[in-house]
Structure 1
């Protein structure tokens, strides 16, 4: 009876250990690029209008602006080297404009 109790306790401890450690890598992989940039302590992040406008400034000088208007998303990236790109998503249609 003692061996049965010790064995079941050992199995319980191992199963709890495996379950608690299994999802840690998946959480980082599931984050979007914007979420990872917002979590970076070196970046300056401003959120306005209840999350409809997000502005992220990186230490390298890049500036990312994300805006939501009437179900339409706009992303503007101004890079430190002077290049600029814009992405517009409207009803599932994606339009990309890049200026170098």
Structure 2
């Protein structure tokens, strides 16, 4: 998708929400700690992009590494990561899953 909102912003929001959900599923952490960790993880990946981490690790030719670690830094991604962490925490708090 090549647009200015869904892929660049909403995709980053959803990625952090996915990291939050996966971490909360696998680890026994408080939700607020998990949201902070998901945000920090996304920020660390973004900072790695700034420094060209995928190339510094010699993984520039590995497609999955370029997808997971990314190759292009964008400071506008940080607010999207924050929004994803806040939305994940809010959804977890106000939209609890019910047992079937």
Query: When the two structures are superposed, what TM-score results if normalisation uses the length of structure 1?
Result: 0.24
Structure with the bigger percentage of helix: 2
Q: Which protein, 1 or 2, shows the higher relative CO under an 8 Å CA cutoff with sep ≥ 6?
A: 2
Structure with the bigger percentage of strand: 1
